[in-house]
Amino acid sequence: MGLVISLVAQRIALGALLLLAVSVLIFAGTQILPGDVAQAILGQSATPESLANLREQLGLAAPAYLRYFHWLGGVLTGDLGTAMSSGQDIATSIRGRLWNTLFLAFWAAIVAVPMAIMLGLIAVRYRNGGADKLISGLALASTSFPEFFIGYVLAYLFAVKFQWFPAISTVYEGMPFGERMQAIALPATALTVGVLAHMMRMTRAAILNVMQSAYVETAELKGLSVFAVIRKHALPNAIAPILNVVMLNLAYLIVGVVVVEVIFVYPGMGQYLVDHVTKRDVPVVQAVGLIFAAVYISLNIIADVAAIVANPRLRHSK
């Protein structure tokens, strides 16, 4: 038990260091972006004096390293800063949008994860058969299409052609659950299609790798059915890589929603980020980028911890 706690602590410490390094990259990247927020606010007719005064008010005149430490100190205390373009508190503005993004990613995961595992099991059960070839072919086809293409196809078919779902996924606080689910149906489907194939193929590969083991052959020689061998012997021993790929795809669901949210004008973190990139609103870009990085790193840590718990061999250096 002590070894597991030590390994988990190491993963968390490495994750914190990685997030610190990412914060430096995010801050540095936003500093070299083209454009000037002061110019964007005051317009092209602004005088040099007014631009200098506004930059002083916004804190842009200080050296970059001082601005970074000031920003990092605020983040550590829960202060994400103030949006330059609107003057609103970023943490307050993000709270509702983060909930919308997590809500969308949650329902996409609820559909994608069980379906991917089930399809992977079916593909293994009927290995090299018609079902396996059909599932693998559809998986390869779906990975060939980018998310924006899938989103536009879904919008055309189910919003324009059949008019079953809205093309614009508008949600608001206090919205009835049924209406909210109808509003997110198309973006959630686009996200599901985007991650389903990868999880299914990794599930299939992990189980097939275990199926080559001697104890699986022994179970087959004892007369157990193929499904019983998979359920009792192959799946439990392949659960670690499956958990790993599931967590990585869950991380992608949350940080990869930007394109889907923009297509369906969904009021989440991705749409919020794109809106403020066009305004050259650096504090918002920094805050959203750091939140996305924190979520991605956290889910990767959870994947590592789940793999350590599920696979005893990972707890030993040898």
HEC string of 185-238 equals HHHHHHHHHHHHHHHHHHHHHHHHHHHCCHHHHHHHHCCCCHHHHHHHHHHHHC
Q: What tens digit of pLDDT does each residue of 163-186 get?
A: 888 888 888 888 888 888 988 899
Helix axes 64-76, 282-310, angle to 10 degrees: 50
pLDDT band at 42; cut points 50, 70, 90: low
* C-beta of residue 274 within 8 angstroms of C-beta of residue 259: no
Please check whether residue 69 lies inside any domain of the structure.
no
Q: What tens digit of pLDDT does each residue of 204-219 get?
A: 887 777 777 777 677 7
- What pLDDT score was predicted for residue 37? 62
* pLDDT greater than 80 at residue 94: yes
Q: What tens digit of pLDDT does each residue of 65-91 get?
A: 788 888 888 888 888 888 877 778 888
* pLDDT greater than 60 at residue 46: yes
DSSP state of 159: I
Count Cβ atoms within 10 A of the Cβ of residue 278 and give its class: 0-12 exposed, 13-18 middle, 19 or more buried: exposed
| Domain count along the chain | 1
- What pLDDT score was predicted for residue 41? 64
- What pLDDT score was predicted for residue 87? 75
Distance set, CA 161 to CA 9, 150, 165, 186, 262 (Å): 53, 15, 10, 14, 21
pLDDT band at 35; cut points 50, 70, 90: low
* pLDDT greater than 70 at residue 229: yes
Please check whether residue 9 lies inside any domain of the structure.
no
Name the nearest CA neighbour of 23 among 201, 287, 298. 287
Please check whether residue 214 lies inside any domain of the structure.
yes
- What pLDDT score was predicted for residue 30? 77
CA distance 89 to 84: 10
- What pLDDT score was predicted for residue 17? 92
* pLDDT greater than 70 at residue 157: yes
Q: What tens digit of pLDDT does each residue of 263-304 get?
A: 888 888 888 888 887 777 788 888 888 888 888 888 888 877
Percent of the chain at pLDDT > 90 equals: 1
Please check whether residue 78 lies inside any domain of the structure.
no
* C-beta of residue 196 within 8 angstroms of C-beta of residue 116: yes
Please check whether residue 3 lies inside any domain of the structure.
no
User: What residues contact residue 81 under an 8 Å CB cut-off, 6+ apart?
Assistant: 71, 74, 90, 283, 286, 287
- What pLDDT score was predicted for residue 283? 84
Please check whether residue 131 lies inside any domain of the structure.
yes
Please check whether residue 292 lies inside any domain of the structure.
no
Residue ranges of alpha helices (H) inside the chain are: 2-31, 37-42, 48-58, 64-76, 90-125, 130-144, 147-154, 177-183, 185-211, 214-221, 226-229, 235-237, 239-255, 258-263, 269-277, 282-310
Please check whether residue 161 lies inside any domain of the structure.
yes
pLDDT band at 317; cut points 50, 70, 90: low
- What pLDDT score was predicted for residue 39? 59
* pLDDT greater than 80 at residue 256: no
Domain that holds residue 149: 96-276
CA distance 20 to 64: 16
What CATH code is carried by the domain that includes residue 219?
A: 1.10.3720.10
**41-45, 97-101, 204-208, 245-249, range with greatest mean pLDDT:** 97-101
pTM, to two decimals: 0.79
Lowest mean pLDDT among 21-35, 36-50, 97-111, 187-201: 36-50
